[in-house]
Amino acid sequence: MALLSRQPWLTASILLVPLLTLAAPGWPRLAEVGPAWSVLWLLPWALVDGPLSGVVAGAVLGLLLDALHPSGVSELPALVLLGWWWGRMGRLGTPVERSFNLGLLAMLGSLLLDLTLMLQWILRSSLAVGSGHGPSGGIDPALLAQPGWHLADLAGAGLHVLLARMLLTGLLAPVLCSLQLLLWRQQAGGGSRR
């Protein structure tokens, strides 16, 4: 692992993500949806520390967040993929420094994270329906057949959450990720790229 993982207090900063997720502060909300805190933490970490550290940090972060919500779906695959992608981008490309770029990367990361969660829910519920394990294996189709719960309603709610989280994460990223990039690049040995 690279330079940042040798700094114990920076490595301990990963614990802020589950704390912010549990606390769910009310101020950065858009239509009752909060930002993707994991994306806002992982993006600058992986850009500064590289792909291997990004994958490990994404895995640790995914395991911590999955332990908070044992629902059968996991944030781990998306966070590991994002950590690797952003780490490679930070090592091989030109340094990401512009606010627009950070916001766009955070929006794409939030979109990928939410889409993988939706895909896992769809696969899990379709496997549960196909195997006949309604309530114990997933979403009970009888509950979805009740008045007021239609597929269009569920898809609209999912789209609402996806768009709100993506927009809010993209709006917060230029401020939060820029500050983290500056701090972590200084700690990694110089204010330059690494």
pLDDT tens profile 21-74:
888 777 777 778 889 999 999 999 999 888 998 999 999 999 999 888 777 788
pTM of the model: 0.79
Angstrom distance (rounded) from CA 108 to CA 146: 35
What number does CATH give the domain 4-187? 1.10.1760
The structure tokens 């189709």 sit at 141
Residues 41, 180, 177, 61: what is their CA dihedral angle, to the nearest 10 degrees? -10
Positions of the chain with pLDDT under 70: 1-7, 9-10, 128-157, 190-194
Angstrom distance (rounded) from CA 29 to CA 25: 8
Domain residue ranges in the chain:
4-187
Q: What is the pLDDT of residue 93?
A: 72
Q: What is the pLDDT of residue 5?
A: 61
Closest CA to 54 of 6, 77, 86: 86
